[in-house]
Amino acid sequence: MAAHSYVIVGVEPNRVIVDSAREAVPTAMAALFSEHERVSATSYVSSAGDLRIRLHLLGYDKKFTTRVVEMLWLDRINVQQPADVSPSDLIDAWIAHIDEPGEHGMPNKHARALEEQWGTIWGESRRQLRYLLDRIPADTRVELDLSEPVDRGYVPPSTFALDARNELANEASGSMPTIVLTEGSTDAEALTAAVEFVRPGLAGFLTFINYGLKPDGGVGAVTNGMKAFASAGVANRVTGLFDNDTAGADGKKALKGINLPDRIRAVSLPPLDLARAYPTLGPTGPQVLDVNGRAVSIEFFFGRDVLTDPSGALEPVQWTRFIDSQGEYQGEFLRKREIQQRFRAKVVRAREGDLVASEWADLAKLLDYIADS
């Protein structure tokens, strides 16, 4: 015997089934309920008023919904059969006689008429539900009943409402650009320019948070941003891009133990061959060291041409503070501002037609890396 889940508006005997799913959870409807409305292992109970507000917040406004539903209703009449009632008339009649039982305790003719005429031809199920909720008392009971598919083993016990919202968010993320959180405005500026010049096919599919004229956000901007997006239930895929340095490793460590959705993930800048033997300055004097994992910031991807100073030498990394939790020093470019200025001049030249692809190779590889993460 088939098992169905139901969305039921009203109470017996004149309740109306407005959606169902065979041997499954009606995901779009289940996502409208809240876990605090769970009244049993297989049932959630909300109100017309609460669901109406939630639908409005999701973009199902009254004016547009009314226009769409009534237009589709007219199409339905023209195609199938003449009728002298509107969907609003059916709902009004149901509400006016909702306390009148039918014969033998069955639904009365007004409840039957509404349920019989209810169908997806009115429009998408959530839009049709909004149309109904706008025309009934706010305290009308609305129930999500999952007892049949759960009790018969078709659907395992779960936090159904929460899981439905997560499922829809994951599906929606496939239609939205991936948001890339970086440690600062310079990172976003450089990656945006790289998309323009060497990976134009990624335009519209990757978007970079730009901190504008504010100081660079640092590691905290990435960790806090990821947690904020997760808490807000943002549907986009989100990539938190940390520098491949000691502070970045510390920031990623701070995310351990936090249950982030699968669509939100943390990555570090990839290691670079250039950084495997790079000039550094520290208490013991100049040394050539592998700075991957300890000092690699976005500037390393600007190209050797940008990292080379007017004398022909690579701009050195200077060891700064010691991060106890990582047991390593943090390294940073001594003349970061000058490096950034040279990169901006390179962007201007590229826009004027002077683009040397090899000088953008590391940024191109970085964009591929982000896209594949």
Residue by residue, DSSP assigns 123-173 as S-HHHHHHHHHTTS-TT-EEEEE-HHHHHTTSS----HHHHHHHHHHHHHH
One domain, residues 167 and 207: no
Interstrand relation of 295-296 and 38-40 (parallel, antiparallel or unpaired): unpaired
Same domain, 284 and 344: yes
Q: Mark 143-178 as b/e (b = at least 16 C-beta within 10 Å).
A: bbbbebbbeeebbeeeebbeebbbebbeeebeeeeb
Q: What is the pLDDT of residue 69?
A: 86
369's enclosing H/E stretch is: helix 361-372
**Does residue 147 contact residue 7 with C-beta atoms inside 8 Å?**
no
Residues 190 and 241 in one domain: yes
Domain co-membership, 156 together with 230 = no
Q: Which of 171, 204, 219 is the last residue of a domain?
A: 171
User: Does the predicted model carry a pTM greater than 0.75?
Assistant: no
Same domain, 321 and 342: yes
- pLDDT value, residue 25: 94
In this structure, the answer to whether residues 143 and 219 fall within a common structural domain is no
Q: 167 and 214: one domain? A: no
For residues 142 and 237, membership in a common domain is answered with no
**Rounded-to-integer distance, Cα 191 and Cα 25, Å:** 42
Task: Give how many domains the chain has, as a whole number.
Answer: 2
Report the pLDDT value the prediction gives residue 233, as an integer from 0 to 100: 80
Residue 337 structural domain: 174-372
Amino acid letter, residue 82: P
**Strand arrangement of the beta sheet that strand 317-323 belongs to:** 285-289, 278-282, 317-323, 328-333
Distance from C-alpha of 134 to C-alpha of 91, rounded to nearest angstrom: 10
Same domain, 166 and 185: no
Cis peptide before 13 (omega within 30 of 0): yes
Same domain, 115 and 95: yes
Of the residues 140, 171, 202, which one is the last residue of a structural domain?
171
Q: Are residues 112 and 149 in the same domain?
A: yes
180 and 158 in one domain? no
Residues in contact with 85: Cβ distance below 8 Å, sequence separation at least 6, in sequence order: none
Q: State which of 121, 139, 171 marks the end of a domain.
A: 171
pLDDT, position 257: 83
Average pLDDT per block of 10 residues along the chain, 373 residues long: 92 92 93 93 95 87 89 67 74 93 89 80 79 95 96 93 87 80 92 94 86 63 89 86 94 89 92 97 90 96 96 96 89 95 96 93 95 86
